Amino acid sequence: MHDDRSIVEHRLRRVLQERVQPAVRSHSVPLTIERWEAPGEPVPVAEGLAAGYEPAAAGDLWGPAWGTTWFRITGRVPAEWAGRTVEAVLDLGFDRNMPGFQCEGLVYRPDGEAVKALNPRNDWVRIGGDRVQGGEEVLLYVEASSNPILVDHAPTYEGDRLTARQDPLYRIERMDLAVFETEVWELVQDLEVLDSLMHQLSKADARRWEVLRAIERCLDAVDLTDVAGTAARARTELAEVLAAPANRSAHRISAVGHAHIDSAWLWPLRETVRKVARTSSNMVSLMDDHPEFVFAMSQAQQLAWIKEHRPEVFGAVKKKIADGQFVPVGGMWVESDTNMVGGEAMARQFLYGKKFFLDEFGVETHEVWLPDSFGYTAAMPQLVKLSGSKWFLTQKISWSQVNKFPHHTFWWEGIDGTRVFTHFPPVDTYNSDLGGEQMAHAARNYREKGRGSRSLAPFGWGDGGGGPTREMLARAERLRDLEGSPKVTVEKPSAFFAKAEAEYPDAPVWAGELYLELHRGTYTSQAKTKQGNRHSESLLREAELWASTAAVRVPGYAYPQAELERIWKTVLLHQFHDILPGSSIAWVHREARETYARIRAELESITVGAQTALAGRGEEPLVFNSAPHDRRSVPAGGASAVPVRTTEAVTVSARDGGFELANGLLRITVDSRGLVVSAYDVGARREAVAPGLAANLLQIHPDFPNMWDAWDIDEFYRHNVTDLDGVDSLELAVSTEELATIAVTRSFGESTVTQRLTLRSGAKVLDIETDVDWRETEKFLKAAFPLDVKAERSAAETQFGHVFRATHTNTSWEAAKFEICAHRWIQVEEPGWGTAVVNDSTYGHDVTRDMREDGGQTTTVRLSLLRAPRYPDPETDQGTHRLRFALAPGATVTDAVREGHWINLPERTVPGAPGTVVEPLFRVDDDRVVVEAVKLAEDGSGDVVVRLYEAAGGRATGTLTAGFPAASVTETDLLERPLAGSPSYAPGADGGVELELRPFQILTLRVARA
């Protein structure tokens, strides 16, 4: 036989595009259009419906950036269309090749009921059911948002309504009534599915040729002058090939409807509220027509938004949840970043997320759903289990630049040894269209062949694309059991996970973090957003601690439960994986800065109010210590007057144009350049700074990654570096017995920096406060600490513990980790001695090592202080910043934990009654056991909840003593429910409870007051 394959394939493409697809709508009449421009921000629906409309027409321009235009659409179904299927086609001017990221609309009836959304590939509204009577009046309203298109990865000021242009962005393309030819539409679906299947089959596969010949017969059967009249006949030619069943060994795909909606990114938070309402309306409408359709939605925050702002949509969603079609997943307040979110905040993501799903829908979610976050902390498996969940899903690891992840289904083991069953969909997208190419890729790419046979495919257009479409469901129906294709079943994520775990219980184990070899710049971009997050986490700890203490100790004090929950949810929202990482538009980060300032004021008020109630009336200074370790004789979580200093005074001496500071524990030498050339640990008789080098050396690099400006730093940035060792001024700013401060000012480029280096009496750290007026663009600022330590690995704090990472680059896996994330501290050591660098708001770090001519090894720890990418915010980090970090020579991991908390939780002094001592609500007699949070129970019972963890990475035993009469102590999960199988805890006569914790174990105890 002659090979005419290309001729048939070309014929199909042309006939499909130029004749069959256009024939889906056979007749049309224009609708009457009126418009009203909402002034400023979006208005309530009732106001939009009642507005004064003016005439408009197809072809008109509309929509300034970030504006809202309301359209009123009227018309009448022609009487001669009786018995036909009719749709309103409402094209706002979409770019159909870009589903999402542009204008969108939500259609309402005159009574304010939301009908469905308008999106680039979903621009229709059904009129009068499947068959119209003819003569029906049509009256619809469209709330249309004119979001600018910001996906070009080029600097733009359109990302904030304060700087965006006001020229119209869109043109009304079409607003018609049209007859929908159902049989033609079905023919289109048949041909598209078979065409995409055919192109994935080998040319040597007889099935490919069988499909080709069926398509050829189908095309012969279509009368191009009467497609609608011949579509049914043409479909019969395809029936046999569409009915051929899949092979017994065919890969099985669980298709889960999904619409990944970033809670903020290239649009502000307020626009996400509307995106969620639009997509949810689409899904409810699709479910009405397709009872088999299942849609999974994560992020409790997004459902809370529609409850608040679109209650009619929420009511419809709630009904579909009860019916089992609309499925909450994820169990977190938002799809948060997991690299930088603090431990307690991560616990609260689960607490408030799962609590919302339980309270609103009675649904206990079991799948943690984080397809798009930029890497996953090794603390996550334990948190997943403690939240009552048991499965984990991610997709983003497929984006890694260097190493291909070896598994798609596996057990993920966390730092404490907890394992969670995890799936990484081989379809390599969380926005699948269920097309043949993607289904074939999933089957080919799946790495568990021979042991497992199942994968999951989230399908639907995200980020304003409108979610799954009827076309996607048509593909799923045809691919349910089709020869040459994987078997596709639309079902809940829980159904997939249950089957996959049963099939593959002995899946391989991956231990440690799921490091994304991409987007490493997100540890540093938008420093003020990161600082706002860290400070808010610390302030929430303080507010809860002292409010709980006051509630237990002060009669009549009312614990501010509602206020704390509201603030927590606001902080959790801003931990979303494009806000905290610094990868959103300028508008998002401007609002974040304003929000964090408001939160600070509220939390300061709660804390001071509680401390004042505890201190009583008087003028004697009372020092409150919120840290989990005793400090200067003030107990952890308690308050008392600080006694007279008993440690050695700080001394200062001039030295070679610089200064030497000493306090009996450390001897610090600052040279004439203002650099630390010696940090001597007196007790250990060890020098921390590598010989011939200088610590606290600011360095600047060019920073122009290949793509993803705010997200990425590429390794080649290291090829060029400038040491900032020029000095504008160097002086002794403060010198007392209690402390000494050296101030050094430098200028570089258009920027200036002033650093204050402080040594305090009794402290074994050198505090460094850095004020930067940052005016650089596409530059990267680092602070380097070359240490005289032979360290094979670094220890970096993560949630409820730490992770070790190699300092060498033996393999591509280690080399890819050229930028790493740490929380409050990073520490390096050789047997017997180490050094830590702690910080109050920095996350990005790098650790390298070099051999010296003297045979020693220098391990250099660098903090990533500031970046200056220009997309998506062209003014990223411009302005003034205050950053605090400290060098801790001789620090063990336990020392680093303590110093990290101290720099983040400074003491507070409040005037109070003479002799007042505020005893801690809880004491722990082992520094390895750290109190992470003290709060009152969520249920309003008055029980006190304390969360602890083992911080050193080894077993710990100790006694937890309650500072109040305790009736019972119960171990709970993160939702404060009794934990099945946990040991019983019986308080002793002194209120003490004996604890035994395994390495990095998180322990939540609920203490009922007697």
Name the residues annotated as catalytic: 372
Tell me how many degrees the CA angle 328-938-940 measures, rounded to the nearest 5.
135
Q: Which two tokens stand for residue 730?
A: 């160097």
Strand order in the sheet with 104-108: 54-56, 32-38, 67-76, 137-146, 104-108, 114-118
d(CA 213, CA 9): 10
Helices 300-309 and 311-323 pack at an angle, to 10 degrees, of 130
Quickly count: other Cβ atoms within 10 Å of residue 380's Cβ: 25
d(CA 920, CA 675): 41
Question: How many helices and strands, by DSSP H and E, does the chain display?
Answer: 19, 52
Collapsing DSSP states into helix, strand and coil, what is residue 974? Answer: coil
Collapsing DSSP states into helix, strand and coil, what is residue 80? Answer: helix
Quickly count: other Cβ atoms within 10 Å of residue 954's Cβ: 12
Q: Which two tokens stand for residue 82?
A: 């009786």
Identity of the amino acid at 697 = L
d(CA 964, CA 926): 20
Contact (Cβ atoms closer than 8 angstroms) between residue 261 and residue 275: yes
CA distances in angstroms from 353 to 263, 314, 378, 512, 1005, listed in the order given = 14, 17, 20, 25, 20
Contact (Cβ atoms closer than 8 angstroms) between residue 390 and residue 420: yes
660-664's contacts with Cβ under 8 Å and 24+ in sequence apart are 661/740, 661/742, 661/757, 661/759, 662/759, 663/759, 663/760, 663/761, 663/762, 663/763
- The DSSP secondary-structure symbol of 520 reads G
Contact (Cβ atoms closer than 8 angstroms) between residue 572 and residue 333: yes
β-strand 174-180 against 25-30: which pairing, if any? antiparallel
- CB-based contacts of 961: which residues, under 8 Å, 6+ apart? 922, 923, 924, 925, 990, 991, 992, 993
Give the H/E segment covering residue 14.
Answer: helix 5-15
CB-side neighbour CA atoms (13 Å) of 315: 5
Residues paired with 126 in a beta bridge: 87
Buried (b) or exposed (e) across 768-799, using 16+ Cβ within 10 A?
Answer: bbbebebbbbebbbbbbbbbbbbbebbbbbbb
Terminal Cα-to-Cα distance of the chain (whole angstroms): 90
Tell me how many degrees the CA angle 883-818-885 measures, rounded to the nearest 5.
20
Residues paired with 740 in a beta bridge: 735, 759
Pick from 783, 790, 891: nearest CA to 836: 891
Quickly count: other Cβ atoms within 10 Å of residue 74's Cβ: 12
Contact (Cβ atoms closer than 8 angstroms) between residue 580 and residue 345: no
d(CA 256, CA 456): 7
Tell me how many degrees the CA angle 789-791-793 measures, rounded to the nearest 5.
150
Helices 343-361 and 311-323 pack at an angle, to 10 degrees, of 80
d(CA 325, CA 490): 11
